[in-house]
Structure 1
Amino acid sequence: MLRRTVIAGAAAGLAVAGLGRKALAQPRNPAWPRALNMGTAAPGGTYALYGPAWGQIAQEATGVQISYRATQGPNQNIILVQRREVELGMVTMGVALQAWNGDGQWTQGQQMRDIRALFPMYDTPFHGIALRRSNITKLADLNGKNIGLGPRGGTPGTYWPLILQRLNIRPANIRFGSGSDMAGQLQDGLLDAFLFASGVPVPAFSEIETQSDVNFLDFTAEEIATITRAFPEVAAGQLPASTYRKAGRPLNIVGMFNFAIGHRTLPEDLVYEIVKAVLTQNDRLKQAIAAGSETLAANANKNTFLPYHPGAARFMREAGQTIPDNLVMA
């Protein structure tokens, strides 16, 4: 529980620190909106902590008040930004690709093309956890088991069923819910394993390993080859053994990068200031949440298809990144 408390406390500290200033916040430019809303995610996932961390930095830099809406994750964030029910959100690039092309089942065939990339966030590795007493040590052991996958509308809820299908793994039952809920069900014996995808260390995984003996579930080389062939938006990687206290070894994973997004109608100079503030205060972001260590302009190349907002592209280019003209759209 300690690590989760420290991470959550740091992020909450940023948010709470801003509450006293919130009533006094005034946009630096009177042409900017007075307030923006950000779609985050359910408790137990990284977005719920990461969103307020970068939102507070953006609010202080611009004077624009930023509030937060708990969502199911990237899928719902995209839908809300597309509808302009929120102006800011966070997504994984695989889900964003489905939205842009309108080919994910959850899109119902709609191409969602009012979303724009703002800045790179961090990589989302797919991995899992099981209690040691379950004797589950690898993904193939999940045949006939009860598993949890996080929110149905999030990246794990979208991609894990597809991954398991490709690997010919057939659980007896799949449950969806927040990371915190899945962790509780695992510890109560209602689930045999919890598979997730989020910034690391996953807060819910860190909570579980402080309370129980666990096995971390990663991928074999053959499984990785199968997945990356089927889903080119996913890349192979490895988590250091130090990511979790009880992993005991590096974890072989697949992952996809996360990006902050905004609605295309946001003012260009406002987006420029938001992106500049977040990417030039990386030390502060890392203090709030470990995943912030990857929030660097140098990771702009992780996006190869989603158009950047012109304000974001302007800062990226000033920061020395090559953003092709065909990847910028008003």
Structure 2
Amino acid sequence: MSANHRSFPLSRVATTLATSACIGGLLLASTAHADRSEWPQSFTMGTASQGGTYFVYGSGWANLIADELGLSGGGEVTGGPTQNLALVHSGDIAFGMTTMGPAADAMSGNSPLAPGVVMDNVCAMFPMYETPFSISALTDSGITSISEIPDGARIGFGPAGSTSDTYFPAILAELGVNFERRNGGWTDLGGQLQDGLLDVIAFAAGIPIPAVSQLEVQTDVNIIEFTEEEQAAAIKAFPVSEFMIPASTYTTLEEDARAVSMWNFAIAGCDLPEDLVYEATRITMENNDKMRSVHRSAATTIPENVVHNHVIPFHPGAARWFNENGYEIDAAQIH
């Protein structure tokens, strides 16, 4: 990864869902008056593995921003929140998505990908959604609760270094589960579960999780919830909070399912041009209907939820939009 934060090697797009669009007079007035002299010609949004919410949300967001700003941009498959922090910090990608737990580690120099490196070129843009920690197993496994997960169960925790892989094994160990740890993309793990190569998948992803929805179409699935005692134990030991997965999320669920969750925020390189980040934030915050069409989890991608970031300093461009629109961000929280 490059250490030159201003080199903007942003044309490296593994999965480009948007191409350069000349939209001229269709640009909103504020965009037309933005200082674009230092803007890159293209950008990349770091997501996570295919089959997960990050990939769908991030690629769709990149498409929206590219269309609105007349740039070339797209989503890139990555290892998820922890790797996104490192890639944004180094300047290898412009934008990314992360959760508060890995962000706190990165800000304090405790990222497992770069121990001792304080990632101070990472700035917050806007709130995304809460990531529930949920567990799925095939119905014919007979597993209906966390306590019924058998000793030595083969559990898929998502991509190595992801939020799920960082926190879910520790949470299950805290709850007394003994397991064999497996990693991979969500789509791949879903296939392994269906083929009998895994016993359980422990997801940390925005809902509905595409891989779970696909499994529901193909087979019978159990969505395993936390008991009240298990939920309380997880909250006491880890940076997570109470969450209920609405019954409407999956056809399998007949009632809301108890879980825990962690907030997600979009991030940007702190040295990206202020007007670029301002416009990206404005478009996102003022077009929630378009964001919801990208993914249902974007229902909480609204300005009011900016208060859930107590970890990452805000990019000046993002902070300017929030402050102009009555969502006060203290100067001490701005990079």
**Does the TM-score normalized on the shorter chain lie above 0.5?**
yes
Query: When the two structures are aligned, how many residues end up with a matched partner?
Result: 310
Match of 2:327 in 1: 321
Q: Is the contact between residue 98 and residue 107 of structure 1 (CA under 8 Å) also seen in structure 2?
A: no
**Deviation string for 1:39-93 (max 9, x for gaps)?**
1111111111111211122222322321332101011111111111111100011
Match of 1:257 among 263, 283, 293: 263
Task: Provide structure 2 residue ranges, at least 5 long, that are not aligned to the other structure.
Answer: 1-15, 25-30
Distance 1:37 1:243 in 2: 30
Amino acid across the alignment from 1:294 = T
Match of 1:297 among 303, 306, 329: 303
Match of 2:161 in 1: 153
State the Cα distance separating 1:104 from its structure 2 match. Answer: 4.2
Match of 1:208 in 2: 215
Distance 1:111 1:139 in 2: 36
Match of 1:84 in 2: 91
Whether 1:246 aligns to 2:252 is: yes
Q: Superposed, which structure 2 residues align to 1:23-102 within 5 Å?
A: 24=22, 29-102=36-109
Whether 1:175 aligns to 2:178 is: no
Distance 1:111 1:31 in 2: 26
Distance 1:222 1:212 in 2: 30
Q: Is the contact between residue 25 and residue 64 of structure 1 (CA under 8 Å) also seen in structure 2?
A: no
* 2:124 partner SS: strand
Amino acid across the alignment from 1:95 = P
Distance 2:95 2:111 in 1: 21
Match of 1:4 in 2: none
Q: Is the contact between residue 61 and residue 273 of structure 1 (CA under 8 Å) also seen in structure 2?
A: no
Whether 1:310 aligns to 2:308 is: no
Distance 1:181 1:226 in 2: 30
Whether 1:127 aligns to 2:109 is: no
Match of 2:171 among 159, 163, 186: 163
Distance 1:32 1:145 in 2: 50
Match of 1:9 in 2: none
- The alignment's TM-score, normalised by the length of structure 1, stands at 0.90
State the Cα distance separating 1:124 from its structure 2 match. Answer: 0.3
State the Cα distance separating 1:107 from its structure 2 match. Answer: 3.5
Match of 1:274 in 2: 280
Distance 1:299 1:60 in 2: 25
Distance 1:222 1:107 in 2: 35
Task: Provide structure 1 residue ranges, at least 5 long, that are not aligned to the other structure.
Answer: 1-14
**Deviation string for 1:298-328 (max 9, x for gaps)?**
1001101210001100111122212111110
Q: Is the contact between residue 44 and residue 62 of structure 2 (CA under 8 Å) also seen in structure 1?
A: no
Give the structure with the higher percent helix.
1
Distance 1:85 1:48 in 2: 18
* 1:105 partner SS: coil
Match of 2:118 among 111, 126, 138: 111
Distance 2:284 2:243 in 1: 26
Distance 1:303 1:295 in 2: 13
